[in-house]
């Protein structure tokens, strides 16, 4: 009788221990999944922020490079707003490169500023995009880009 009681208690203990181990493993797996999801969410949010910053640089470059003396004050305000916004978060060297790309504009300066911003945002040393790969449009002219011409 004593042996039967012992085995009953032992079986009860094993069932209880198994349930605890199951709960523990469930929590561990859930924590790992949650951590992975948080990391992926942070990565996706950062990618979105980089795209937004790249869009702002491109928008500013487009406005500022094409400013004319007869443009409306609204266009000047928008251009200044974009330029000042970039000054708030771009590193100084990159911001001055972007600024110089539109202030001393020739065929390649705006494109070199775009490339500098791209390299900063992507942080990819293997990025093979060059000045000749970027399309550049303006009235009464072909697209300036060897990649497009080929």
Write out the two tokens for 145. Answer: 């880009």
Token pair of 106 as six digits? 């020739």
Q: Is the predicted pLDDT of residue 1 greater than 70, yes or no?
A: no
- DSSP classification of residue 66: T
What is the pTM for the complete model shown?
Answer: 0.65
Q: CA 5 to CA 8: how far, in whole Å?
A: 5
pLDDT at 84: 95
- The tens digit of pLDDT for each residue in 3-24 reads 677 678 888 888 889 999 999 9
* Residues 115 and 131 sit within 8 Å (Cβ to Cβ): yes
- For the CA atoms of 102, 104, 106, 110, the dihedral, rounded to the nearest 10 degrees, stands at -30
* Contact of 67 with 79, CB cutoff 8 Å: yes
- Binned at pLDDT 50, 70 and 90, residue 150 comes out as very low
Residue 38: both structure tokens together: 């948080």
Domain count along the chain: 1
- What is the Cα–Cα distance from 29 to 47, expressed in whole angstroms? 27
User: At which residue do the structure tokens 């948080």 appear?
Assistant: 38
13 CB contacts (<8 Å, ≥6 apart)?
none
Domain enclosing residue 64, as ranges: 2-149
Closest CA to 94 of 112, 67, 80: 112
Span 77-101, pLDDT tens digits: 999 999 999 999 899 999 998 888 8
Total residues found in the chain within this entry: 150
């Amino acid at each position: 009788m004593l042996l039967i009681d012992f085995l009953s208690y032992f079986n009860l203990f094993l069932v209880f221990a198994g349930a605890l181990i199951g709960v523990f493993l469930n929590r561990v797996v859930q924590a790992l999944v949650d951590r992975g999801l948080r990391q992926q969410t942070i990565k996706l949010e950062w990618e979105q922020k980089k795209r937004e910053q790249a869009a702002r640089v491109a928008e500013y470059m487009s406005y500022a490079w094409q400013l004319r003396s007869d443009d409306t004050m609204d266009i000047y305000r928008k251009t200044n707003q974009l330029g000042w916004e970039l000054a708030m978060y771009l590193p100084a060297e990159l911001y001055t490169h972007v600024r110089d790309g539109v202030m001393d504009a020739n065929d390649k300066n705006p494109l070199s500023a775009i490339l500098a911003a791209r390299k900063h945002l992507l942080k990819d040393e293997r990025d093979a995009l060059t000045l000749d790969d970027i399309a550049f449009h303006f009235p009464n002219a072909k697209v300036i880009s060897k990649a497009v011409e080929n």
